[in-house]
Every structure is written in C-alpha cells, then in structure tokens.
Amino acid sequence: MRRRGPALLLAVLLAGCAAPAPRPAGPAVELGDTPFFAQTAYRCGPAAAATVLSAASLPATPDELAPATYLPARRGTLQAELLASIRRRGGLPFVIAPDPAALQAELLAGRPVLVLQNLGLEQLPVWHYAVVIGVTPESNRVLLRSGTEPRHRMNWQRFMQTWDLAERWGLIVLRPGELPADPDPIRFLRASAALESVGLLDAAQASYAAALERWPAHPLALLGLANVAYARGDYRDAASRYRQLLAREPSNAIARNNLAETLVALGCPDAALNEIERALDLPAPAGALRAALEETRRQIVAAPREDGRHRAGCRR
C-alpha cells in the first residue's frame, strides 16, 4: 500500500500531460553557421541573445550582454529585458507568432529562433532560454544551441511540451529595414514601434520604410514615419506626412491630433485649433484617445496666438 504513493503521484503528474503534438511538417533545416556561446551559471539569457544577435551580423558576447539582462536576485533574465538588450545592440527583436509553423518559416529564411522553454512543470517552472537552429522532421527532432550543448537534439514532442508551457514565446533578430517571413503587418509594426518608443529613431524609420514597401500605404506605417519626423523635431516633414495620411483617411483622429501638435510646434495655433476641432467632431474617439485630443486642445488654447509674421508661414 505504501509503495503506491510515488506511483500514484507519478500517474497524477503524467495525467496532466496533454496529448502529444503531431510530428513536424516541412523540409529539414539546420543553420549550422549559427555561433555558439556556452552559458555560464544561470546566464542562458545573455548567451541566447548573443547567439541570435551574432547570427544577424550584430556581434555580441554573453559577457557584454549580461549587465543589461541579468537579474542577480532572480538568477535569470526577463523576456522584456532580452528584447530591450537586443534593441540596445542595434537589432530589431521580433516576437514570432506562437506557432511551430512560424518558427519553421523563420528557420527556412535563415534565422535562428530564440525560445523560452519551461523545462519543469507548470507548477514548478524551470525557465530556460535556448536557440532553435534546426528541425529534422524525418528523425522527429529539434536542434538547439542550449546551455552548454552546441547541438542539443531534442524530441519534437518534448520540445513542444516545454515550449507550450512557456506560451510558445520566441523571437528572431532582424536588422533595421529587414522584414520577417511572417506576413502579418501589425506584428512587424508593433516591433518597429517599440524602437520609436525608446528613441531609436534611425532604426524605427528604417523599419517603417521597409513596412511601407511590403504593405504599401499601410496607415500605421505612414503614421510611424510621421511620428519619427516629429520626434526628430523635423516638424515641416511631419506635418506633410500627417496630411498625406489624412488625405487617405480623413477620419484618422490620431493623425489629426498629432498634426495639431505639430502645427503648435510650428507656431500655428489657429491652424492647430482647426485640426483638433475636426478630430473632436469625429464620432469614434473615446476613452484615453478623447482625453488626449482634449489635452491637445487645452495646449493649443494656452499657446501664444499667431502674429502677422507667423501667419503667412502657417498657410499651407
């Protein structure tokens, strides 16, 4: 009777395991040129980041990345800080769709994929970063640069189990201006907007420009380029880009709000007021967007009025 204890526990734990994932599809691929950095204690994060950065021709070593990523008291690295450290090294970290097909598509495009794995259990997580460098469907294996192993061969189903427990989180490193295999513009623009948010304007601009080539006239890519111009203080360029977007989408309240901000910066509060009133008249704006529009209006009203010298320059 006493002996049944461990067996019972094992049965309970095994029952928690989902049905095995199907075998991988598609052709075999192995990115054998991917560099390898053996991790030192708890530093799989910087090692994995150095691997994908170097593979994207942005040289980095784990020792260089550790001060920007390692959390001593947690003995590990947060996902957000991995993303941030890749941006700081000049890369564009792109979080792939949580899908093995997306992972394989990037491998086939020649890009290794940094993945988060939970090597333990849902309730007893053992978080680990590794880099997928290949998949061999005929032998049902995933190939990884992992820990101290340069070519860790892992059973596909077991890999999927560890990846599922980490919500299938994975990223690739793109050089600014480079596009992923993923056909979803929003996913790419989100990655590009993060560059803008932290003030990496050259990289953001290159990414938005690449997005516009692939998805012509995409309103969020046009907005991104205009916002970068504004952030640079290049207000004339910004105004003309917002107007270009508004010619296509007159009801774009965000573009009109930012155009109004730009006109204030150009010393044209009357024109700005006109734009913000039009934005506030739109039916859609609610919540924080309306609050932003109203704040813009307050700022415009508080701004010094146009004098004769300015007024001429304010006419389009």
Partner 1 sequence: MRNRLFRELVCMVAAIGVVAATAVQPAAAAFVGTEQALAAAENATMARDDLSGWIARDDVRAQLVGLGVDPAEAAARVAALTDAELAEIGHHLDSLPAGGNVLALLGAVFVVLLVLDLVGVIDIFSRT
**What residues numbered 90-109 form the site for partner 1, per CB under 8 A?**
none
Euclidean distance between the first and the last CA atom of the chain, given in angstroms as a whole number: 89
Tell whether residue 152 is a contact of partner 1 (CB under 8 A): yes
Tell whether residue 233 is a contact of partner 1 (CB under 8 A): no
| Nearest C-alpha neighbor of 173 from the set 106, 120, 78 | 106
Type and span of the H or E element at 41: none
Handedness of CA 14, 18, 23, 28 (dihedral sign): negative
**What residues numbered 19-38 form the site for partner 1, per CB under 8 A?**
none
**What residues numbered 253-282 form the site for partner 1, per CB under 8 A?**
254, 257-258, 261
Handedness of CA 49, 52, 54, 57 (dihedral sign): negative
**What residues numbered 198-227 form the site for partner 1, per CB under 8 A?**
198, 220, 223-224, 227
Q: Which residues pair with 113 in a beta bridge?
A: 132
In the complex, least distance from residue 312 CB atom to partner 1, rounded to whole angstroms: 26
Applying CB under 8 A, the site for partner 1 has a residue count of 78
* Residue type for position 105: A
Closer to partner 1 by Cβ: residue 70 or 107: 70
Closer to partner 1 by Cβ: residue 158 or 175: 158
The residue from 73, 233, 247, 305 that contacts partner 1 (CB under 8 A) is: 73
Residue 262 CB contacts under 8 Å (≥ 6 apart), including other chains: 230, 235, 238, 239, 242
Q: Looking at 70-78, 133-141, 171-179, 239-247, which segment touches partner 1 (CB under 8 A)?
A: 70-78
Closer to partner 1 by Cβ: residue 13 or 109: 13
In the complex, least distance from residue 109 CB atom to partner 1, rounded to whole angstroms: 24
Number of Cβ within 10 Å of residue 280's Cβ equals 16
